[in-house]
Structure 1
């Protein structure tokens, strides 16, 4: 099942799955939009709202795995996870929100008892970075510090942009000695040698501050990407009325990058680990547009789960399938440490 199939990521994933011969069950709460996509692709569909726990469990009862694509995940992940645990359904999401990563990973014992996999971050956030972090950790097992950086041009979907509003309002974060520490957005900053060129990037509150800590155990983590220069809007966005105005503006934008834009853009990821002795290992990857990578990773993760490739429990991508999961993704090229 793809829940939130009418959203930007759900739509991409559904179309990709059909192109590969799969026939996912489409679902969501927007009856007209889900039905239209199902009719176009020749797929079955169901309509239910996660706020109705009885209906949610009824529709998941015969589902082996659900790809949860309906944000904001801080509101929707909990009800979906609860229902999946009750129905024995594997769960995957494409969240980027720290509280969701923490909440899903905290359900490990419940997932093991239910015999299901809870896989959080099965998209661009955090498949490439989590897997690269674990490749680096394997190359330097006593690493104490991890730095990751990415660039993903091509624009944002409405859902990603809306989530970004609330995340940016909370400012930046990094992990120091195992603890999440608040820092100004973009601080610290550094030059990173990406595969194509050196870029100036700043620290951001990316999901690996939770997931890479969980999967590698490394206590000091910083994640970087390109950060806009401080502006009046960036200072005002912490106020709820300003965020509400910005959210309304986002709703008037296109759903996400066009197919032409996605085809013309690629992503790059860089990572580095260091140990107490000063030894360093680095790795990089290049891949397709972040949304194409998300659809590919999510569909392949579902296939892996249905094939029994992960043990029951709560997982990041790397703990579920190992860091070599990256090698299964289309157009991803890894320069290993």
Structure 2
């Protein structure tokens, strides 16, 4: 079923970008970002009523009902689009059928998954799939706060180094009111962690406790207790293209209580754009022998900032500002420093010597 609001939208000057799972929390930011930049979004998902609610107040935005269980409906959902952005979790269920639909249509695919095992499966399954190269498209999983931001910072920090001995990504959040999708992804992961050491990825069982420690962040966080081996898609994206023997990931422990709280209410809007007041800081340290390089980014609301990341990525892909086609990460396909400077961050530091 296809529906269109009666009045035309004034910004229909660029190609169509389909948004699947368009009524989710992050997807609403993605739609708003597309409209702000003059792209034409087509909103899709399996629930017609939620799609109608999502386009309330968005004149001229088309909706198309589709289910990942029905390939023909996905084909109709992305017909005429230049790219599809998948915002629908669980991504283990939605990514494979949507990538297949993008291959059939010959259009670019991006998603915002934070599910580490799903991102790993996407690279394992499609990295060497000849159909992707033959189609000349970009398949870009994890173009989000987790997955893209750390990868871009790591790429910028590496700079002209061909290889590093170790790479660390440390994330600090002042709070975390997770979405339902984040909670469901955590339950599916069941405590399993993806780690990278000795130049290879491994999956650790959920009954093996993660290491604990401390990290001294820049302000406003300072010294924080952290959990190590925090299973994030940054491990997957960075390991795809940067030559390092080890990737360590850390998260401060303060926001973890929100993840475990059954009464959590999800993100709470603190401004007219719907962003929460949550503050994040991502710090990357790259080491080679006695040398050290650093990069960091600070901003607000990890869900809201995902929208400019994935929309910026789509825009760069559709305007030819990429280094390759195929299954890619943000760091390997874009100019990392230029891309980071294009994002609405509150603070950015690139490539500093330690």
Partner of 2:349: 335
* TM superposition score normalised by structure 2: 0.83
Going from structure 1 to structure 2, the CA distance change for 1:259 and 1:302 (only over 3 Å counts) comes to: farther
Inter-partner Cα distance in structure 1 for 2:73 and 2:169 = 41
Q: Which runs of 5+ in 1 are unaligned?
A: 235-245
DSSP-derived class of the 1:155 partner:
coil
* TM superposition score normalised by structure 1: 0.87
Q: How many residues align?
A: 319
The structure 1 residue matched to 2:299, chosen from 264, 278, 287, is: 287
DSSP-derived class of the 1:143 partner:
coil
Partner of 1:159: 181
The structure 1 residue matched to 2:247, chosen from 221, 228, 234, is: 221
Partner of 2:13: none
Within the alignment, does 1:133 sit opposite 2:145 as a pair? no
Q: Which runs of 5+ in 2 are unaligned?
A: 1-17
Within the alignment, does 1:27 sit opposite 2:27 as a pair? no
The offset of 1:255, in angstroms, is 5.4
Superposition RMSD in Å: 2.5
Inter-partner Cα distance in structure 1 for 2:97 and 2:270 = 32
Within the alignment, does 1:142 sit opposite 2:159 as a pair? no
Moved more, 149-158 or 294-303: 149-158
Inter-partner Cα distance in structure 1 for 2:40 and 2:255 = 45
Inter-partner Cα distance in structure 2 for 1:122 and 1:264 = 22
Inter-partner Cα distance in structure 1 for 2:256 and 2:312 = 39
Which has a greater percent of helix?
A: 1
DSSP-derived class of the 1:24 partner:
strand
Partner of 2:9: none
The structure 2 residue matched to 1:45, chosen from 52, 59, 63, is: 63
Going from structure 1 to structure 2, the CA distance change for 1:229 and 1:7 (only over 3 Å counts) comes to: closer
Partner of 2:104: 86
DSSP-derived class of the 2:303 partner:
helix
Inter-partner Cα distance in structure 1 for 2:132 and 2:270 = 37
Going from structure 1 to structure 2, the CA distance change for 1:163 and 1:320 (only over 3 Å counts) comes to: same
Higher relative contact order (CA 8 A, sep 6+): 1
Partner of 1:268: 281
| 1:3 and 1:27 in contact (8 A); partners too | yes
The structure 2 residue matched to 1:326, chosen from 320, 340, 346, is: 340
Partner of 1:105: 123
